[in-house]
């Protein structure tokens, strides 16, 4: 990726690789992350968590802890009072999930190792941990439910869900049974994508402070601060405008930071109880245990096709292990897995049975490309199996089956209970595949499929994907002219490292004709805008950026009207150019200085909203080239290429960074990362020595190419999301590549992660087969 050689100081700013405004403070170590937030006289909280996966909570003995020097309080369910607030589903609302919501603190039952049972508040974290060590929860163990596929016949976790299956529905389009009856070729397999999740470098944290007048400030918000504020205020019995959630610098999210967790209630509650600011920052052991897990989906999949490899239909049955409780992100993993199982292909007939089951494990939420990464693995593996069976070329078969541009917009039907009928809006899916093939040199690599070179088997594999982005219903922006060279932009969107302080400035800079560096962006806090939604589902630029454009237009209109009034000219003949209103001859009629001098709020500030009820679809292809050591079974990823169409590239540095970063996360998820449990429900991957994250030496060759063949027609920027696509086809591409590499062993990878041991077993068992 060529980096910018020249500073970008002149318009246009959109499309240019502007280095980021947020970088200077972060590079100097002057960022403000939540653990850097300090109040005078601040106390520290430690959450005491269940060490038993499933049990009846008889009592919590806090006497010894309370007697310790420096301990201010030890909170249990009794202090929270009755009824204990439960955490509702915010999105992905599937009927049934309301029956297994999580209480903010365990009252009579514990259902996963890591569930909060008490909160210790003390003078410092060290003392709080000493006290936490002597808080004794008396738990009578119950049989834990650990296997998702057997969960329905085991002991119920929740009285309202006797079969541990709160969600069970079917979805379809076309006539799949008929398609299968008539098909010349069918195949059925069972697949599994394992439990893994975002594991950002910064753990979660909150600082809660009650002002003397009873106003509550909470620091450490992210993702959906407005929803969380409303929920928290309701739980505390307060008016929404008496609570503010503040976003500071955050160390990554990828979906799991910022959702409402038990601590989001417990910490403000503690602060009110002890009458001091309270800080809570989870340590890594806790974070691995208590921050949302994700993926963990089983899929039985059947494919029907002609002998020439034209896919006629899919039938699937999904089981999503959501852990011990429903979460704010509801059934998104399962529902989106079902929705995206057909992917970017023209598959007329499709049926999917979807089940969400409960187990005594950490509850699951959404992690980058939720449901999509899984769906792509299931379907792309199946396509390659079909190709092997029918002796067809995997690339040619995909090209023949991908939705064509002439078919756009492509109706995918109504596959998700909480969404209506959807259509892939625009895209050239075959072009993305062809570009990816060119970038990696696919034809040359395909000629070496399965060959042993220098002791390693080589393989190349493909994963195509399509994804939705830009969840509505709206987003808000507020612009304030503080000085002619200082424009403040407030957005309801949240930032966890995606660079909105720069990319949003670029959008506003072009909209108003001012330099990008004159714009200061404030994000995520509920103090920014009257109402917002946040950042998730690739909606940052789509919704937030569009809101910036809409609001800029409002301001420009106000300025034109003022200039028209002052100069007695028709407003329609005036233009905004370079931050000033000019007439059709180019004469300057109103400048930013004039606006500032006017003192007129209508000229100085505007708040605008962009609304969009439907989503837009980005898409792409990932291709992996691997070499598998014949003796040690170690898989080396020689190259991973992603081609993605995100509609409109606002800042190529940022877009490229997102895709490369997402790709490496996808590789980590495919080859290294795993949350493992034993039969008693103990989580075994409790340290960074067990949960393995990619390092700089693991995947040295990852590349991303952005194409903009299909801007979105659904927002003024033409943008589509780009934050998630890079993970989504990786499992598929790598698994396919490894299978091609090991074709002489007949290896068939049906489960992730791909570990040296699992590859070794696949090589050994396959070569012993018939």
Chain positions 275 to 294 lying near another protein, rule: CB under 8 A, are 283-285
Chain positions 682 to 741 lying near another protein, rule: CB under 8 A, are 684-685, 687-690, 692-700, 702
Closer to another protein by Cβ: residue 8 or 415? 8
Check residue 304 for interaction with another protein (CB under 8 A).
no
Give the residue with the Cβ less far from another protein, 151 or 222. Answer: 222
**DSSP of 454-514:** TTEEEEEEEEEEEEEE---SEEEEEEEEEETTEEEEEES---SSS-HHHHHHHHHHHHHT-
Helices 730-741 and 652-671 meet at what angle, rounded to 10?
Answer: 50
Q: Which of residues 403-432 bind another protein (CB under 8 A)?
A: none
The smaller minimum CB distance to another protein, of residues 663 and 715, is found at: 663
Residues that contact another protein, how many (by CB under 8 A): 83
- Give residue for tokens 């974070």: 287
For another protein, what does the binding mask look like between residues 171 and 210, x meaning CB under 8 A? ---------------------------xxxxxx-------
Rule CB under 8 A: say whether 24 interacts with another protein: yes
At closest approach, how far in Å is the CB of 755 from another protein?
Answer: 8
Give Dmax (Cα) for the chain: 90
Collapsing DSSP states into helix, strand and coil, what is residue 57?
strand
- Does position 3 interact with another protein (CB under 8 A)? The reply is yes
Strands (E), 484-615: 486-491, 519-523, 575-577, 580-582, 588-590, 605-611
Please report whether residue 633 would count as binding another protein according to CB under 8 A: yes
CA distance 462 to 437: 9
Nearest to 161 by CA among 104, 95, 112: 95
- Give the whole-angstrom CA distance, residue 290 versus residue 284: 10
| Interaction of residue 496 with another protein, rule CB under 8 A | yes
Does residue 538 contact residue 469 with C-beta atoms inside 8 Å?
A: yes
N residues, the chain: 770
Min separation Cβ 227 and another protein, Å: 22
- Say if CB 725 and CB 620 are below 8 A apart: yes
Selected binder of another protein within 249, 300, 346, 583 (CB under 8 A): 249
The CB-of-374 to another protein minimum distance in angstroms stands at 20
Residues in 351-380 that interact with another protein by CB under 8 A: none
Question: Minimum CB separation from another protein for residue 162, in Å?
Answer: 34
The label of the residue with tokens 């490229």 reads 656
Using the rule CB under 8 A, is 532 a contact of another protein? no
Site string for another protein, 586-625 (x = CB under 8 A): ----------------------------------------
- CB closer to another protein, 116 vs 251: 251
Q: How far apart are CA 88 and CA 77, in angstroms?
A: 18
List 394, 459, 661, 718, residue binding another protein (CB under 8 A): 661
- CB closer to another protein out of 679 and 757: 757
* Token output for 387: 């190709």
| Beta strands in 38-197, from DSSP E residues, in sequence order | 43-49, 55-61, 71-75, 86-87, 102-103, 109-110, 116-122, 136-141, 167-173, 185-196
- SS3 letters for 252-306? CCCCCCCCCCHHHHHHHHHHHHHCCCEEEECCHHHHHHHCCEEEEEEEEEEEEEC
The residue written with tokens 């500073």 in the block is 7
251 near another protein, rule: CB under 8 A: yes
Q: Residue 126 interacts with another protein (CB under 8 A)?
A: yes
**Cβ proximity to another protein, 82 vs 697, nearer residue:** 697
Identified binder of another protein from the candidate list 79, 98, 129, 163, rule CB under 8 A: 129
Is 22 an interacting residue with respect to another protein (CB under 8 A)? yes
Which segment (174-182, 244-252, 348-356, 728-736) binds another protein by CB under 8 A?
244-252
- Residue 40: CA count within 13 A, CB half-sphere: 1
Taking the complex as a whole, the smallest distance from the CB of residue 730 to another protein amounts, in Å, to 12
227 vs 254, beta carbon nearer another protein: 254
Rounded Cα distance between 146 and 111, Å, is 11
Member of 9, 12, 23, 407 binding another protein (CB under 8 A): 23
Residues 30-49 within binding reach of another protein (CB under 8 A): 30-33, 35-36
* Radius of gyration of the chain from its Cα atoms, rounded to whole angstroms: 27
The answer to whether residue 130 forms part of the interface with another protein (CB under 8 A) is yes
Between 34 and 487, whose beta carbon lies closer to another protein? 34
Closer residue to another protein, CB minimum distance, 413 or 756: 756
- Separation CA 490–CA 453 (nearest Å): 56
Which one of residues 298, 656, 720, 745 is an interface residue with another protein (CB under 8 A)? 656
Q: Is the peptide bond before 619 cis (omega within 30 degrees of 0)?
A: no
Count CB-CB contacts under 10 A for residue 537.
Answer: 25
Q: Is 454 in the site for another protein (CB under 8 A)?
A: no
Q: What is the nearest approach in angstroms of another protein to the Cβ of residue 687? A: 6
Our finding on whether 768 is near another protein (CB under 8 A) is: no
Least gap, CB of 274 to another protein (angstroms)? 19
Of 178 and 765, nearer to another protein (C-beta) is 765
Q: Does 672 bind another protein (CB under 8 A)?
A: yes
d(CA 534, CA 523) in angstroms, rounded, equals 9
Please, what is the Cα angle at 319 between 314 and 321, to 5 degrees? 150
From 10, 27, 444, 770, residue interacting with another protein (rule: CB under 8 A): 27
Least separation, in Å, of the C-beta of 191 and another protein? 22
**Least gap, CB of 654 to another protein (angstroms):** 7
Which positions from 324 to 353 touch another protein by CB under 8 A, shown as an x/- string? ------------------------------
């Amino acid at each position: 990726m060529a980096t910018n050689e020249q500073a970008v100081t002149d318009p246009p700013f959109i499309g240019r690789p502007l280095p980021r405004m947020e970088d200077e403070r972060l590079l100097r170590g002057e960022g403000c992350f939540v653990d850097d937030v300090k109040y005078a006289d601040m106390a520290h909280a430690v959450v005491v968590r269940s060490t038993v996966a499933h049990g009846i909570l008889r009592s919590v003995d806090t006497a010894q802890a309370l007697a310790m020097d420096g301990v201010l309080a030890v909170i249990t369910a009794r202090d929270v009072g009755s009824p204990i607030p439960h955490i509702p589903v915010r999105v992905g609302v599937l009927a049934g999930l309301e029956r297994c919501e999580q209480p903010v603190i365990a009252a009579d039952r514990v259902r996963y190792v890591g569930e909060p049972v008490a909160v210790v508040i003390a003078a410092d974290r060290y003392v709080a941990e000493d006290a936490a060590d002597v808080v004794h929860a008396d738990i009578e163990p119950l049989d834990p439910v650990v296997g998702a596929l057997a969960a329905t016949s085991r002991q119920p976790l929740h009285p309202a869900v006797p079969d541990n299956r709160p969600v069970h529905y079917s979805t379809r389009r076309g006539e799949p049974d008929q398609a299968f009856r008539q098909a010349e070729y069918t195949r059925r397999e069972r697949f599994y994508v394992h439990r893994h999740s975002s594991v950002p470098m910064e753990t979660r944290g909150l600082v809660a402070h009650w002002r003397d007048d009873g106003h509550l400030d909470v620091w450490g918000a992210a993702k959906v601060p407005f929803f969380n504020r409303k929920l928290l205020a309701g739980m505390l019995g307060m008016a929404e405008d008496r609570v503010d959630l503040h976003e500071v610098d955050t160390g990554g999210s990828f979906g799991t930071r910022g959702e409402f967790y038990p601590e989001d209630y417990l910490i403000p509650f503690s602060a009110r109880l002890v009458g001091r600011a309270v800080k809570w920052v989870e340590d890594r052991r806790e974070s691995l245990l208590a921050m949302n897990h994700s993926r963990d989906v089983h899929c039985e999949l059947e494919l029907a096709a002609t002998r020439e490899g034209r896919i006629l239909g899919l039938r699937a049955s999904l089981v999503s292990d959501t852990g011990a409780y429903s979460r704010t992100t509801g059934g998104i993993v399962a529902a989106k897995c079902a929705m995206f199982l057909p992917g970017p292909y023209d598959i007329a007939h499709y049926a999917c049975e979807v089940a969400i089951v409960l187990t005594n494990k950490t509850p699951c939420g959404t992690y980058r490309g939720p449901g999509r990464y899984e769906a792509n693995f299931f379907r792309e593996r199946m396509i390659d199996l079909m190709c092997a069976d029918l002796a067809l070329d995997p690339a040619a078969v995909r090209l023949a089956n991908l939705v064509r541009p002439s078919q756009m917009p492509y109706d995918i039907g109504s596959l998700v209970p909480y969404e209506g009928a959807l259509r892939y809006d625009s895209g050239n899916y075959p072009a993305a595949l062809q570009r990816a093939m060119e970038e990696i040199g696919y034809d040359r690599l395909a000629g070496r499929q399965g060959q042993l070179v220098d002791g390693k088997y080589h393989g190349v594999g493909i994963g195509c994907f399509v994804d939705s982005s830009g969840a509505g219903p709206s987003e808000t922006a507020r612009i304030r002219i503080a000085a002619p060279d200082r424009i403040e932009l407030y957005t309801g969107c949240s930032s966890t490292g995606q660079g909105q302080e720069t990319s949003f400035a670029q959008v506003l800079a072009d909209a108003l004709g001012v330099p990008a560096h004159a714009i200061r962006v404030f994000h995520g806090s509920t103090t920014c805008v009257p109402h917002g939604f946040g950042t998730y589902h690739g909606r940052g630029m789509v919704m937030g950026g569009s809101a910036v454009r809409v609001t800029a237009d409002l301001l420009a209109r106000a300025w034109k009207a003022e200039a028209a009034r002052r100069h007695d000219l028709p407003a329609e003949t005036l233009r905004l150019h370079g931050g000033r209103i000019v007439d059709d001859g180019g004469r300057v009629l109103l400048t930013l200085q004039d606006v500032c001098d006017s003192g007129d709020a209508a000229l100085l500030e505007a708040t605008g909203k962009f609304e969009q009820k439907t989503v837009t679809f980005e898409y792409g292809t990932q291709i992996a080239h691997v070499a598998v050591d014949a003796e040690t079974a170690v898989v080396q990823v020689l190259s991973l290429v992603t081609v993605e169409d995100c509609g409109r590239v606002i800042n190529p540095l940022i877009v490229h960074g997102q895709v490369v970063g997402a790709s490496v996360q996808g590789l980590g998820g495919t080859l290294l990362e795993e949350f493992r449990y034993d039969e008693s429900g103990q989580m075994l991957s409790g340290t960074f020595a067990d949960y393995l994250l990619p390092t700089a030496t693991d995947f040295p060759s990852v590349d991303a190419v952005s194409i903009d063949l299909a801007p979105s027609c659904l927002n003024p920027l033409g943008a589509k999301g780009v934050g998630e696509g890079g993970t989504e086809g990786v499992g598929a591409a790598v698994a396919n590549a490894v299978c091609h590499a090991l074709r002489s062993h007949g290896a068939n990878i049906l489960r992730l992660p791909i570990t040296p041991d699992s590859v070794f077993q696949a090589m050994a068992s396959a070569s012993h087969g018939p």
